[in-house]
Amino acid sequence: MSILQTDDTIAAISTPAGTGGIGIIRISGDKAFEIAEKIFIGKKDFSNIKSHTIKYGKIIDPSAGEIIDEVLISKMRKPHTFTREDMVEINCHGGMTVLRNVLELVIREGARLAEPGEFTKRAFLNGRIDLSQAEAVIDIINSKTKESSKAAIEQLEGKLSRRLKEIRKKLISLIANIEVNIEYPEYDIEEITLEETCSTIHETYYELENLIKSFEKGRIIKEGIKAVIVGKPNVGKSSLLNELTGKDRAIVTDIPGTTRDVIEDYINIKGIPMRILDTAGIRETEDPVEKIGVQKTEKEILAADLVILMIDVRTGISNEDLEMVQKAKDKKIIVLINKIDLVEEKECNKTENDIKNKLEGIETVKVSLLKGTGVEELTDKIYKLFVGGEINYSNEIIITNIRHKNLMEKAKICMKEALDGCRSGLPLDIISIDISRGADYLGQITGETVSEDVLHEIFSRFCLGK
Least confident of 32-41, 126-135, 158-167, 389-398: 389-398
For residue 276, the surrounding DSSP H or E stretch is strand 272-278
Given a cut of 70, whether residue 293 has pLDDT beyond it is no
- Name every residue whose Cβ is closer than 8 Å to that of residue 216 and which is 6 or more positions away in sequence: none
pLDDT bucket at 258, cuts 50 / 70 / 90? very low
Q: Which pLDDT score is estimated for 259? A: 43
Q: Which pLDDT score is estimated for 257? A: 44
Give which of 456, 462, 427 is closest to 192, Cα–Cα.
Answer: 427
First to last CA, the chain: 19
What distance in Å separates the CA atoms of residue 27 and residue 75, rounded to the nearest whole number? 10
What distance in Å separates the CA atoms of residue 449 and residue 445, rounded to the nearest whole number? 8
pLDDT bucket at 105, cuts 50 / 70 / 90? very high
The pTM for the full model equals: 0.78
**What proportion of the chain, given as a percentage, has pLDDT over 90?**
39
What distance in Å separates the CA atoms of residue 201 and residue 28, rounded to the nearest whole number? 44
Given a cut of 50, whether residue 1 has pLDDT beyond it is no
Is residue 23 a contact partner of residue 98, using CB atoms and an 8 Å limit? yes
Given a cut of 90, whether residue 52 has pLDDT beyond it is yes
Q: What is the CA radius of gyration of the chain?
A: 29
pLDDT in tens, 240-252: 888 888 755 443 4
The more confidently predicted of residues 403 and 393 is 403
What distance in Å separates the CA atoms of residue 431 and residue 181, rounded to the nearest whole number? 14
Give which of 227, 154, 213 is closest to 388, Cα–Cα.
Answer: 213
Is residue 52 a contact partner of residue 33, using CB atoms and an 8 Å limit? no
Is residue 87 a contact partner of residue 80, using CB atoms and an 8 Å limit? no
